[in-house]
């Protein structure tokens, strides 16, 4: 079964850093792009960026470039989303998702279960 499993919920204070993970299994992890999507409480989906694990080629949404770092360790089939100096406005659910091989650059066919991040003093 093709699965993406994300790390557990995080509770952080403003100014702290965060690194969440997304581990793939059941498919060739290195040859599919992995994207990250933010969903703030009660709000819509926002595409943050994506990484190609085989060579760590990374693309960022202009809205998130410089604010987050996406990385991957292909030896353990895991992608990461990292941010430093958290703010309360970073409180959100973060999803990782596999870009499909359907030939549609916008489609993500496998999603992780989400990682809830809460930032509060």
Partner 1 sequence: QSALTQPPSASGSPGQSVTVSCTGTSSDIGRYNYVSWYQQHPGKAPKLILYGVSKRPSGVPDRFSGSKSGNTASLTVSGLQAEDEADYYCCSYAGSNNRVFGTGTKVTVL
Find the shortest distance in angstroms from Cβ 87 to partner 1. 21
Interface with partner 1: number of residues (CB under 8 A): 25
9 lies in the binding site for partner 1 (CB under 8 A)? no
Q: Which is nearer to partner 1, 61 or 91 (CB)?
A: 61
Cα distances (angstroms) measured from residue 90 to each of 37, 48, 102: 12, 13, 32
100 lies in the binding site for partner 1 (CB under 8 A)? yes
- Using CB atoms within 10 Å of the CB of residue 67, give its burial: 0 to 12 exposed, 13 to 18 middle, 19+ buried: middle
Find the shortest distance in angstroms from Cβ 43 to partner 1. 8
- Interatomic CA distance for residues 5 and 48, integer angstroms: 18
């Amino acid at each position: 079964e093709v699965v993406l499993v994300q790390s557990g919920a995080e509770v952080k204070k403003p100014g702290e850093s965060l690194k969440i993970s997304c581990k793939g299994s059941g498919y060739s992890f290195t040859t599919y792009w992995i994207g990250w999507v933010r969903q703030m409480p009660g709000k819509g989906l926002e595409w943050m960026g994506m990484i190609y694990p085989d060579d760590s080629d990374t693309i960022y949404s202009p809205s998130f470039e410089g604010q987050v770092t996406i990385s991957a360790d292909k030896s353990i089939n895991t992608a990461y989303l990292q941010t430093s100096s958290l703010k309360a406005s970073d409180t959100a659910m973060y999803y990782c998702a596999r870009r499909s091989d359907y030939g549609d650059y916008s489609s993500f066919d496998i999603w992780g279960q989400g990682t809830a991040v809460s930032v509060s003093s």
